[in-house]
Amino acid sequence: MHLHTLWFVILAILWVGFFVLEGFDFGVGALHSLVGRSDTERRVAINTIGPWWDGNEVWLIVAGAGMFAAFPAWYATMFSALYLALLLVLVALMARGVAFEFRSKSDDPRWRATWTWCLTLGSLLIPLLIGVGLGDLLNGLPIDSHHNFTGNFFNLLTPYGLWTGVTLLGLCLLHGATFLKLRTTGELRERAGAAARPLGWAAIALVVGFVIWTLSLNSSTDVPGPVQVLAVIAVVFAARLASSDHDGWAFTASAVAIASTVGSIFIDLYPRVMVSSTDAAYNLTVNNAASGHYALVVMTIVTVIFLPLVLLYQGWSFYIFRARVSSPAPPRSPDSGVSPAA
C-alpha cells in the first residue's frame, strides 16, 4: 500500500472515530431538554457525557490537521469551498462548548434557557453541516483545472449533500438516545428509550435512502457494498434493541451504523478525495493532492507511536466512568419519622 493510500485510510478512520465518539455527544446535547423534564434531569443528561465531550472533539481537530499535512491540496480546496459552512460549524462548536461550562453558573431561568438552546442548536447544527460537506465530496462541487472552487455557498446545498447531512444527524440522535438509555436510570432512562423508538424508524428510512442514492452516484455497480449493507443491518438492530433492555447492544449497533455510513462515503470516494462537477479530469485524487514522501513517512511514524496511546487512554476513561448517572434523591421531609441515622 502506498503511503498516500494509507493516509487516506487513516483520515477515513479519524472521521469515523469522530462521528462514533462525538455522535453520542451531539445526540445527548440535542435531546437533553427533551428527555429531561426538570433542570436537575437536564443536568443529569449533560453529566452523562461530561467526562468525554471535549476529548471527543479532538478527533475533528486531528482529522482536519491530518488533511492539511497529508493532502494539502485537498485541505485547501475543501476548506475554501466550505468556508462559510465551516465558519458556522466553528461558531456552533464554541457556543456548545461554552454552554457546558456556563449553564450552571447562574440559577436565573433565562440564563439557563439561553445556554440550553445554545447546546441544543449547536448539537443539531454541527453533524448536519459536516454531513453536508462530506456528502458534497462524493456528489461533486464546481472545481476548475487549478483545483479552485468556482461556486458559491448555495452550490454546497446539493440534494445529496443535504440528505447525507440529515442522515448523519438522524444517526447521531439515535446514537445519543441509546447512550442516554445506557447511562441513566429511572424515568430519564425510560424517556430516552421512548425517544429512541421513533428516532430509530427515522434513522432506518434515512440510511436506506442514503444507500440507494449513493448507489445512483456510482455508475460501476447497482449492488450495495458490504459496508452499506452493514449500515442498514446495524441501524435496524439499533432501532429494535432500543426498545429492549439490551442497552449496551443497542448502543453498539448505533455506533456500527454511524461508522458504516461514514465509512461508506470514503470507500466510494477512493481514489478521489474531491469530485469536480465541472469536469472529471479536475477531480482531486490521493495522487495529485498528497504531500511529499518524506512528510508522509514522518507522519506515519508519529501516528504509529501516538495513536495506540490515545486509543488506550480513551478506552481507560470509558472504563473508569462506566457507571450509570442517577438523579439525586429528593430530600426527606422533617416529619417523615425517619431518624437521621437511619
Distance (Å, whole) CA 9 – CA 148:
24
- How many CB atoms lie under 10 A from the CB of residue 226? 10
Classify residue 88: in a domain, yes or no: yes
CB atoms within 10 A of CB 241: 22
Alpha-carbon gap, residue 22 to 45, rounded angstroms = 15
With beta carbons less than 8 A apart as the criterion, state whether 248 and 182 touch.
yes
- Burial of residue 46 (CB within 10 Å: 0-12, 13-18, 19+) is buried
Domain residue limits at 20? 3-320
Which pLDDT value is given to residue 339?
A: 36
Residue 338 lies in a domain: no
Q: Give the number of other Cβ atoms within 10 Å of residue 45's Cβ.
A: 27
Model-level pTM?
0.92
Predicted pLDDT at 338: 40
The mean pLDDT values, 10 residues at a time, for the chain of 342 residues are 92 96 95 91 92 90 94 94 93 93 87 93 96 94 94 92 97 96 93 94 96 86 87 96 92 97 95 94 94 93 92 90 77 47 34
Computed from CA positions of residues 206, 211, 213, 217, in that sequence, does the dihedral angle turn out positive or negative?
A: positive
pLDDT of residue 176: 96
Residue 172, domain member (yes or no) = yes
The tally of domains found in the chain comes to 1
Give domain status of residue 65, yes or no. yes
The pLDDT, as a whole number, for residue 332 is: 58
Is 327 within a domain?
A: no
Query: Is 165 part of a structural domain of the chain?
Result: yes
The answer to whether 285 and 272 are in contact (CB under 8 A) is yes
- State the residue for C-alpha cell 499535512: 69
Does 337 map to a domain?
no
| pLDDT value of position 341 | 37
CATH code for position 134: 1.20.1630
- 328: in domain: no
CA distances from 216 to 143, 220, 222, 224 (A): 21, 10, 7, 10
